[in-house]
Structure 1
Amino acid sequence: MFLLEPLQYGFMQRSLLVAVIVGIICAVVGSYLMVRRMSLLGDAISHSLLPGLAIAFILGVNLYVGAFVAGVISAVLIGWIHTRSPIKEDAAMGIVFSAFFALGITLITIVQRTNKIDLNHFLFGNILGVSFLEVRDTAIIAAIVLLAVALLYKELLFYCFDPMGAQAAGLPVHWFNAGLMVLVALTVVASMKAVGVILVLALLITPAAAAYLLVPRFHQVMLVGSGIGIVSSVSGMYLSYYYNLPSGPAIVMVVSAIFFVSLLFSLSYGLLTQLKQTFKA
Structure 2
Amino acid sequence: MSITDFLTDLLNPDLAFLPKALAIAVMSSIVCGVVGCYVVLRGMAFIGDAVAHAVFPGVAVAFVLQGSLVLGGAVAGVATALLIAVFSQNRRVKEDSIIGVFLVGAFALGIVIISQAPGYAGSLQQFLFGSITGIPDRDLYVVGGAGLVILGLVLALHKEFVAVCLDREMSRAMGLSVFWLDIVLYVLVTLAVVISLQTIGNILVLALLITPAAAARLLTDRLGLMMLLAPLIGGASAVVGLYLSWSYDTPVGGTIVLVATVVFLAAWLFAPRHGLLTRRWGRPGVPGAGDDANSSPCPALSPTT
Q: TM-score, normalised by structure 1?
A: 0.94
1:4 counterpart = 2:7: yes
1:234 counterpart = 2:239: yes
Q: Is the 8 A contact 1:15 1:129 kept in 2?
A: no
1:82 matched residue in structure 2 = 88
2:291 matched residue in structure 1 = none
Q: Is the 8 A contact 2:62 2:72 kept in 1?
A: yes
2:117 matched residue in structure 1 = 111
Aligned residues: 280
1:244 counterpart = 2:249: yes
2:194 matched residue in structure 1 = 189
Segments of structure 1 that go 5 or more residues without pairing to the other structure are none
2:102 matched residue in structure 1 = 96
Instruction: Work out the CA distance in 2 between the residues paired with 1:158 and 1:85.
Output: 23
Deviation at 1:261, TM superposition (A): 0.6
Deviation at 1:73, TM superposition (A): 1.5
1:254 matched residue in structure 2 = 259
Deviation at 1:81, TM superposition (A): 2.3
Higher relative helix content = 1
Deviation at 1:129, TM superposition (A): 3.4
Which of 23, 29, 37 is equivalent to 2:35?
29
Which of 72, 75, 80 is equivalent to 1:69?
75
1:130 counterpart = 2:130: no
Q: Is the 8 A contact 2:64 2:114 kept in 1?
A: no
Which of 43, 51, 58 is equivalent to 1:52?
58
Structure 2: which amino acid aligns with 1:81?
A: F
2:290 matched residue in structure 1 = none
Q: Is the 8 A contact 2:211 2:261 kept in 1?
A: yes
Structure 1: which amino acid aligns with 2:82?
A: V
Q: Is the 8 A contact 1:128 1:247 kept in 2?
A: no
Q: SS in structure 1 opposite 2:272?
A: coil
Structure 2: which amino acid aligns with 1:19?
A: A
Instruction: Work out the CA distance in 1 between the residues paired with 2:212 and 2:137.
Output: 27
Q: Summarize the Cα distance change of 1:278–1:105 in structure 2 as closer, same or farther, 3 Å threshold.
A: farther
Q: SS in structure 2 opposite 1:197?
A: coil
Instruction: Work out the CA distance in 2 between the residues paired with 1:63 and 1:102.
Output: 18
Deviation at 1:5, TM superposition (A): 2.6
Deviation at 1:45, TM superposition (A): 0.5
Structure 2: which amino acid aligns with 1:100?
A: A
Which of 14, 17, 24 is equivalent to 1:18?
24
Q: Summarize the Cα distance change of 1:162–1:2 in structure 2 as closer, same or farther, 3 Å threshold.
A: farther
Using the aligned pairs only, state the percent identity.
40
1:154 counterpart = 2:172: no
Instruction: Work out the CA distance in 2 between the residues paired with 1:170 and 1:85.
Output: 22
Instruction: Work out the CA distance in 1 between the residues paired with 2:122 and 2:277.
Output: 48
Q: Summarize the Cα distance change of 1:273–1:174 in structure 2 as closer, same or farther, 3 Å threshold.
A: same
Deviation at 1:112, TM superposition (A): 3.3
Segments of structure 2 that go 5 or more residues without pairing to the other structure are 287-305
Instruction: Work out the CA distance in 2 between the residues paired with 1:129 and 1:275.
Output: 48
Instruction: Work out the CA distance in 2 between the residues paired with 1:264 and 1:200.
Output: 24
Deviation digits for residues 130-170 of structure 1, max 9, x if unmatched?
A: 22211111101101100101111111111122211111100
Q: Is the 8 A contact 1:6 1:241 kept in 2?
A: no
Moved more, 64-73 or 251-260: 64-73
Deviation digits for residues 26-51 of structure 1, max 9, x if unmatched?
A: 01000011111111111101111111
Instruction: Work out the CA distance in 1 between the residues paired with 2:17 and 2:52.
Output: 25
Deviation at 1:85, TM superposition (A): 4.6
Deviation at 1:3, TM superposition (A): 4.6
Deviation at 1:274, TM superposition (A): 1.6
